[in-house]
Structure 1
Amino acid sequence: MKLIFSLFIVLALAACSSTKPVSTTDISDRSDSRSGINGNDGRSSFGMNPLQDPNNILSRRSVYYDFDSYSVANEYRDLVLAHAAYLRDNGSARVLLQGNTDERGSREYNLALGQRRADSVKSIMLLSGARDEQVESVSLGEEKPRALGNDESSWAENRRTDILHQGEY
């Protein structure tokens, strides 16, 4: 049932998007100052690699989740779409999506939840123009915490999917 619901959410998000795929040029035309991508060469407005430009949305690499959830929240939609557009516009680019969980739950449950988180980001990227061979999704479960602690703020940091571009993994 959760799989059907998640597919419904992904399809609903895709239906809400414009009729044409988002391109890196479209992203640079937005008023969001974090975008900063321009031209077809993949360079930011400052001449640096957009993946490393701190003013570019592509420098952001994590999608965070609510407890026990693998639905990509609206606040991360533009981030995922920007990475998908980068992949679509740069055919040789590749990403590894690493799904992570907090420490609560069994090892098996956390590995499955981490995979669903990575796959939910992958689904949006594929629906937005990235090719399947460009996107790999894996689960790290609770094995790669970003924050150590036994409180909600630590757990929230660990409930994420990290987007790693080729050369970063």
Structure 2
Amino acid sequence: MTRPILIAGLAALTLGLGACASKPKQLPPEPGATTTTQTTPQTTQPTGPVPGSQADFVASVISDTVNFDTDRYNIDASDQGILQSQASWLARYPAKAITIEGHCDERGTRDYNIALGERRANAAKNYLVSLGVDPSRITVVSYGKERPLALGSDEDSWARNRRAVTVTVN
């Protein structure tokens, strides 16, 4: 019976001494010795959005959104500036296509707002076409009042929801 205790004691002592063993220390270089360090050249990642992406579009244009007055779909002077900046971006990326989404506020029937949203999207499309953008690059879709940007039943929310939004496709 003492033999298993003796073996267990020796095993514990061996493990204990092994844990106390010190690691070999690395000595500093000899005085006067030259050391060379090899550095890996840093590759710089491009900052900002990928050219031609939706993020690039949003960063490059005045706005991706044209807002409208109540029951209106006309393009006013501020809208013209926004759409001119969009046309310039599209001229830089002739292979890019866009979708213009027409939106309305919550007032009015669903059918009325779908039709009004389509007129808003088409008004933006027609202005871009008048600036030289190929109409085959532009599709329109109306969401009516189904995708509000601002939730609320007040003039500020309604004004933010009456819009046409340009989204890049490919």
Bin for the TM-score computed over the shorter chain? 0.5 to 0.7
Q: 2:51 aligns to what?
A: 49
Aligned-partner residue type, residue 95 of structure 1: I
2:91 pairs with 1:88: yes
Q: Gapped runs of 5+ residues in structure 2?
A: 1-47
1:47 deviates by: 8.7
Q: TM-score, normalised by structure 2?
A: 0.65
Aligned AA (2:111): E
Task: State how 1:6-155 maps to structure 2 within 5 Å.
Answer: 49=51, 52=55, 56-58=59-61, 60-155=63-158
Unmatched tracts of structure 1, length 5 or more: 1-45
Q: Helix, strand or coil for the counterpart of 2:73?
A: coil
> Which protein has the larger Cα radius of gyration, Structure 1 or Structure 2?
2
* Identity across matched positions, percent: 32
Measured against aligned partners, the alpha-carbon deviations of 1:75-102 in whole angstroms (never above 9, x if no partner) come to 1211101212222332211110000000
TM-score by length of 1: 0.65
Question: 1:98·1:139 contact (CA, 8 Å) conserved in 2?
Answer: yes
- 1:6-41, Cα deviation, whole Å (9 max, x unpaired): xxxxxxxxxxxxxxxxxxxxxxxxxxxxxxxxxxxx
The separation in 1 between residues aligned to 2:58 and 2:73, in whole angstroms, is 27
Structure 1 segments of 4+ aligned residues over 4 angstroms from their partners? 53-57
What CA RMSD, in Å, does the superposition of the two structures yield over aligned residues?
2.2
Q: 1:80 to 1:53 in 2, by over 3 A?
A: same
1:113-144 superposed Cα distances (whole Å, 9 cap, x missing partner): 00000000000000101101111111000010
How far is 1:59 from its partner?
Answer: 6.1
